[in-house]
Amino acid sequence: MNYLTDPEAIYQRSFAIIRDEADFSGLPSDFHPLITRLIHACGMIDLKEEIRFHPRAIDSGKNALTEGAMIFCDSMMVVKGIIRRHLPAANSVQCMIEEDAVAEMARTNGITRSMAAVDCWKPDLAGSVVVIGNAPTALFRLLELLEEEANPPALILGFPVGFVGAAESKQALLEEATRKDIPFITLLGRRGGSAIASAALNSIAMGTT
């Protein structure tokens, strides 16, 4: 069998294929590396048609990470996908979904653990970077906190996946973040997931070095 075994060669060949097959015309050049990595994370060239973003999203994310912003994740899968060596300030990466207090809060209030975890983010939400790659209810709850005038994060990376609430939560993010002028990046529709969410964060972090 004949196949590539060098990791860097595999990456470069993958990115070359994406550049050859994807038409990035009409998209800001500073977003090209990020969109390339999102496509690479899932193998779907047509992903770029559904990506939506605030024009300051990358700059806001870079600045926040460089200044030591906390990173909040909705699932441990997202946490595991973050490449720590690229974080410019040894940023704290937090996921509270498995904490006993979160499980108890969810049971008591009749909500998902993802929602309860987001409630625990509130004291440190201002200026943070939020990465959601699993639960639509986490994104919905974050938007509710912002409607209640919680201090906004510096960047929301919203990529929940699935058939119930995923498309709706991301459409709500697009509308609410645009209205409130909060930097965000999202992927419309049902597609998403932890690999795409962490790829977005990694791309922004790599741009700080």
Residue-level pLDDT at 81: 97
Whether pLDDT at 94 is above 70: yes
**Structural domain harbouring 90:** 49-206
Average pLDDT for residues 40-54, to the nearest whole number?
95
Whether pLDDT at 41 is above 90: yes
Whether pLDDT at 208 is above 90: no
CA distance 27 to 44: 17
The DSSP H or E segment spanning 86 is none
Residue-level pLDDT at 209: 64
141 in a structural domain: yes
Average pLDDT for residues 149-159, to the nearest whole number?
97
132 in a structural domain: yes
161 in a structural domain: yes
With H, G, I as helix, E, B as strand and everything else as coil, classify residue 95: coil
Tens of pLDDT, residue by residue over 56-88, are 999 999 999 999 999 999 999 999 999 999 999
Q: Which amino acid is at 45?
A: I
Tens of pLDDT, residue by residue over 109-146, are 999 999 999 999 999 999 999 999 999 999 999 999 99
Catalytic residues: 40
2 in a structural domain: no
Supply the CATH number for residue 53's domain.
3.40.50.10230
Neighbours of 200 (CB within 10 A): 31
Whether pLDDT at 207 is above 90: no
Question: Model confidence at 186, in pLDDT bands (50, 70, 90)?
Answer: very high
The DSSP H or E segment spanning 27 is none
- When divided into structural domains, the chain yields a total of 1
152 in a structural domain: yes
27 in a structural domain: no
Report DSSP state, residue 30.
G
8 in a structural domain: no
179 in a structural domain: yes
What is the rounded average pLDDT for all residues in the chain?
96
Average pLDDT for residues 19-41, to the nearest whole number?
93
